[in-house]
Amino acid sequence: MSRHAPRPENILNRELSWLAFNERVLEEAEDPTVPLLERVKFLAITSSNWDEFFMVRVAGIWRQIDAGITQPGADGRTPRQMLEEVSRRIHDLAHRQHELFQYVIKPQMVREGLFILQAEDLDAEQLRFVREYFENNLLPLITPLAVDTGHPFPRLGNRALVLMAELEAEASPEEAFPVSELAVIPIPTPVSARFLRVPSAPGTHAFLMLEDVVRMHIAQIFHGYAIRNCHALRVTRDSDLPVEEDPNEDLMKAVEEHLRSRRRGAVVRLQYEQDLSPTLLAMLIDELELSPEDLYPSEGFAAFSDLMQLYAQLDLPHLKDAPMPPLPVPQLETAQSVFDAIGRHDILLMHPYQSFDDSVVRFVREAADDPKVLAIKMTLYRISTTSPIAAALERAAERGKQVAAIVELRARFDEEGNIAWARRLEKAGVHVVYGMIAYKTHGKACLVIRQEPEGIRRYCHLSTGNYNERTSRLYSDIGLFTARREFGEDLSNLFNVLTGYTRPPALHKLIMAPQYFRNALYARIDRERDHARAGHPARMVLKMNALVDPPMIQRLYEASQDGVQIDLLVRGTCCLRPGVPGLSDNIRAVSIIDRFLEHARVYHFHNNGEPETLLASGDLMQRNLDNRVEVAFPLVDPLVAAQVVEMLELQIHDTVKGRVLSQDGSVARRGLDPSWPPLRSQHRSYEHGLLTSGIKALTRKLPDLGDSDI
């Protein structure tokens, strides 16, 4: 069957679907049952998500408009129509966010003894503390920038907070410098926290925002001038400029040039205090080449993403989620060697419920230190600045082991950190490969080759998530340790493709994108369709971050029409319309937003009683299916696969954090009979030891949520 897309009316707009996802994040901040500081955290996440949305998606729409593109997209909207609708929706949500913070969150913080103060709120002791902090820590870092005929309007950094002041000379013309009516003061937030903790009464916590600290002392910056007014503002720039890749040039140099170009990206959003004078606003619109859709006034406070600093500074357990420390992996807990444990049987890892440090980090560290290990090969997509995994690879190379690292330099917004690690690893003697021209290496795989009495043996780790110990505590991902021969051979071939010029061979177990992933999924979907047409039970459960690819959506529609029961777990963007009569009657979609970000990709097929469960690094997006190096792999051990399937069932039936997606793109929490006990899948998975003790029967019957073969 040919790859074709659904009709435009059967596709939800990608940008609006993503905004619906971020609205679900905002709903967590609005939820009064969520602990107060967790609500603050969700406010920060909402804003951080919007920042990236503007830098990538809105910037992309503007590039289409500027290029004169008027052709409708997959959902029938032109770029201009899309921009207007997106702008209208974000303005509504931003207003809702400000109302929530100003009239709900802040008053509750005050009741808990948490104060975000204004200058007029400070007592004498606080004023003295703030003045000394400004003079000792901020004033030496501040560089005021005049704006006049001799001083062109400065470039405002992406997401950088600045003050804009209107000045008036107080001295006579003979005593003063030439009059400048305007000045820009960058706030040194990269080296100082946005929220300055100030002295307060015992049992309370008081903060002053850094821009207010500078604003209070601005006369010390502009001697001889009166300050008519002073306003905070922040710009967001296009940060998704393409890397100009040339097969004949060094990819690292191309990425470094890309980073320099990013700093010059067009402004796609201006956030400013709403009492900014019309004259200044008009000047900013002209200097930054802004349109009405780019303007986002606010009541005093902007850049809610910085609230994450406040969350981190406050050690108040009663205002945060109860701790869920990572559980040990039973097979590894008592094993003297991780290789002995993996050699006995496959080991499933579910993070952050199970410890990433005691499993994956331990695996790489032991490989680095074990004299029997001959070689380590690994993909690295997002590397933390203090990565223990990258440090172990460095140590392994220095000890004479053969180490190959595929460091993806084009991982968006992690380019600089990855470049730094690539250079450091090369210096240590690691064979560093930057990735394939035109294809990002997004697959997650590590291969350890060990000399044993019986001969060489391969040990594999494959995962849905990055080799990043920091995000492993926040993202929900699934990994697999295995020493199965076919997996080892496949990984050896995969790394040969990535480090050399060999063509991708036929693999035993692994499925590689871009060569095979799409067609492998098509084949499994069509197999379920065949079962349904033959009158057999047919079902799929597909879990992912995003479902965007039109041909894949069309294939799922056709499967639904053939009678296949399809459950989708889509955390973010979903362009498929579930539950449309005659189109997608047999498809339902659920999204879970909870304390951990759902990041795993799982593709489960009933297969007429012989189930197959795949884990993968890629979502159902064109970039993952066709334009990236991705790795999907089956769970061969039935006991291992059963753990993942049970997790899927818990999430499908989540009555606390699960939202049901409707055919119009709206999302609603489930309304169940109050006699049913609440089911919160992340907590159930942790509390019941489902993820550490193998197969465990559910203690309650699951509620009936409609016609489905569950």
Reported confidence tier of residue 697, pLDDT bands at 50, 70, 90: very low
pLDDT tens digits for range 490-512:
999 999 999 987 777 789 999 99
Do residues 463 and 479 lie in contact, with contact meaning Cβ atoms separated by under 8 Å? yes
Residue 599 assigned ligand-binding role: yes
d(CA 584, CA 579): 5
Residue 571 assigned ligand-binding role: yes
DSSP for 355-395?
A: -SIIIIIHHHHHHHH-TTEEEEEEEESS--TT-HHHHHHHH
Give the DSSP letter of residue 327.
B
- Give yes or no for a cis peptide into 352 (omega within 30° of 0): yes
Residues known to be catalytic: 442
Three-state DSSP state, 113 = coil
Q: Residue 161 — φ and ψ, nearest 5°?
A: -85, 130
Write the burial class of residue 541 (CB in 10 Å: 0-12 exposed, 13-18 middle, 19+ buried).
buried
pLDDT tens digits for range 112-149:
999 999 999 999 999 999 999 999 999 999 999 988 87
Which has more confidence, 161 or 175? 161
For residue 699, what pLDDT is reported?
Answer: 38
User: What average pLDDT score do residues 434-463 get?
Assistant: 95
pLDDT tens digits for range 416-440:
999 999 999 999 999 999 988 889 9
For residue 671, what pLDDT is reported?
Answer: 66
d(CA 576, CA 569): 12
Strands 440-441 and 444-452: unpaired
3-state helix, strand, coil in the chain (%, to 5): 40, 25, 40
Fold: same for 330-509 and 512-687: yes
Q: Single out the residue of 506, 461, 488 nearest to residue 351, CA to CA.
A: 461
Q: What is the CA radius of gyration of the chain?
A: 27
Three-state DSSP state, 257 = helix
Residue 690 pLDDT exceeds 50: no
| Domain made up of 330-509: CATH architecture | 2-Layer Sandwich (3.30)
Which has more confidence, 494 or 175? 494
Residue 164: count of CB within 10 angstroms of its CB: 23
Domain 512-687: CATH class, spelled out: alpha beta
Which has more confidence, 520 or 701? 520
Do residues 588 and 660 lie in contact, with contact meaning Cβ atoms separated by under 8 Å? yes
pLDDT tens digits for range 186-215:
999 877 789 999 999 999 999 999 999 999
Residue 533 pLDDT exceeds 80: yes
pLDDT tens digits for range 539-571:
999 999 999 999 999 999 999 999 999 999 999
For residue 541, what pLDDT is reported?
Answer: 99
For residue 301, what pLDDT is reported?
Answer: 67
pLDDT tens digits for range 245-289:
666 567 888 888 877 777 779 999 999 999 998 989 999 999 999
Residue 49 assigned ligand-binding role: yes
Residue 702 pLDDT exceeds 60: no
Provide CB contacts within 8 A for 285, sequence distance 6+.
295
**Domain covering 34-319 in this structure, CATH number:** 3.30.1840.10
Which two three-digit tokens encode residue 308?
A: 């994450």
Residue 628 assigned ligand-binding role: no
Residue 244 pLDDT exceeds 80: no
Residue 595 pLDDT exceeds 80: yes
Q: Single out the residue of 507, 523, 508, 536 nearest to residue 610, CA to CA.
A: 536
pLDDT tens digits for range 277-326:
898 999 999 999 999 999 999 877 678 999 999 999 999 999 999 999 99
Q: Domain locations in the chain?
A: 34-319, 330-509, 512-687
Do residues 206 and 198 lie in contact, with contact meaning Cβ atoms separated by under 8 Å? yes
